Amino acid sequence: MNFITRAVLYTARKWKKTLLLFCLLLAITTLVLSGLAIADVQEEQAEEVRGTTGASFTVSRNTATGGWSSDRGGSYSTQEYLTADKMESIAAINGIEGYNASIRTILCLSDRRGQWLEQMEPTGHAIVDCQFYSYSCINSKYHSLFLSGALVMCEGRTIDSSVKNGIVISKDIADKHDLKAGDTIQAVNNPLSDDKTMDLEIVGLFEVVADKTDERNHYNESSYYEYTNNAFVSEAAMKKLLENYTDVGYASADFFVSDPERLESILHEVQKINTINWNNFFITANDEVYQNISSALSDTGTLITTLIIVITAVSMVLMVLILSMSVRSRKRETGILLAVGIAKPVVVLQYLLEVLLIAAAAFPLAYLSSKQAAGTLGTLFGKTAEHIIVTSEHFMLVVVVGGVLLVTAVLASCIPAMRLKPKTILSQME
């Protein structure tokens, strides 16, 4: 009788022990497969957060030295402004997906008939005031009010470098004055001076999502204006509107990175740009939201990984203990097999085959059961059940690693018995 036949017969004859090992392997494999599926969802969620939450950094004028002067763009020091060349050199660094810089001023807006556009009060009633707090934009989708979610585009398009004489206003203002995307309005910085009046096309409309009390907003001079009374103007148009003012420029610019995890390395690269005098500028990282969210995700991911490792380690110990007890209870059988000339490796191979036969039945069934259990277990970690999928890759990984661990457990349990000589084993059983 060869070792394969003996392994099959022993597994069938000792069905209680077989059932115990089968249930143990089934439970362990189900838990590990479920854990791997949950870990994958966790990793996908982390990658999604990296792609959607994003991070940015701000390059600002160093106002620590030099006097202060007031101009149409706000209050700035006498240090140099950020120029287009400087911003382009920063934006050229790999990993930066876009940037925006704004000059802030008050523009008076009117329709094509010369009728001033009226502001909106918080109650929604119009007041006769044509002044709108306006931002020039290199790329308005990267403006902080849109990134924070305080404002969202509802019609038309955002402003970028391809827009020459364009403006984005609120839908409330547009509806009040029977305007829509594609219409033309007029803008002037100071109607009581010789400032230029320009025709601007309404390229898009925005809706207000957050109000002034929202925690996403911070104080600045624009806080005197309701968000419905804000406007976003193309860079080229704003320069023409402010051409009578000499001390106007970009005091800061916001740069947005595609991968928040690379923010620190990108900042190091930025500071190596030798065409910028970094004594006149400083950099501020803006990744608080990502850090807070990623920290929570990382903690959950670590917990899931730890549980998988603990389950595997405890299972390994249990298997060694159970198999060791089984081998000790089979000392007489082992002695007889060795006494009749069967080599020790063949005996070990028989014991190994017995365990692998049980695993061959437990693993596929665990693959099926884990498809049901993974979703339920995933909800304990705040995951959506339908998003947790046990894949064939998970199964193959468990089969390979589990097989190696089972072989190790069998060998570890057989070591004490295989060290004894056949006569010694038989004498101990007399």
Q: What is the pLDDT of residues 408-420, one digit of tens each?
A: 888 888 776 666 5
End-to-end, the C-alpha distance of the chain in Å comes to 25
Residues 6+ apart with CB under 8 A from 55: 256, 257, 260, 263, 285, 286, 287, 290
Long-range pairs, 319-324, Cβ under 8 A, ≥24 = 319/24, 319/405, 319/406, 319/409, 320/409, 320/412, 320/413, 322/20, 322/21, 322/24, 323/351, 323/355, 323/409, 323/410, 323/412, 323/413, 323/414, 324/412, 324/413, 324/416
d(CA 340, CA 338): 6
Cβ atoms of 87 and 101 within 8 Å: the answer is yes
Residues 6+ apart with CB under 8 A from 240: 196, 198
What integer pLDDT is reported at residue 6 of this predicted model?
Answer: 82
Q: What is the pLDDT of residues 317-368, one digit of tens each?
A: 888 888 888 887 777 777 777 777 778 888 888 888 988 999 999 999 999 9
d(CA 375, CA 362): 20
Q: What is the pLDDT of residues 196-213, one digit of tens each?
A: 899 999 999 999 887 655
d(CA 188, CA 198): 7
Strand partners, 423: none
Written as six digits, the tokens of 127 are 């007041």
Q: pLDDT category, 219, cuts 50, 70, 90? A: very low
3-state helix, strand, coil in the chain (%, to 5): 50, 20, 30
Q: What is the pLDDT of residues 43-97, one digit of tens each?
A: 776 666 555 556 788 888 876 644 443 343 444 444 678 888 899 999 999 988 8
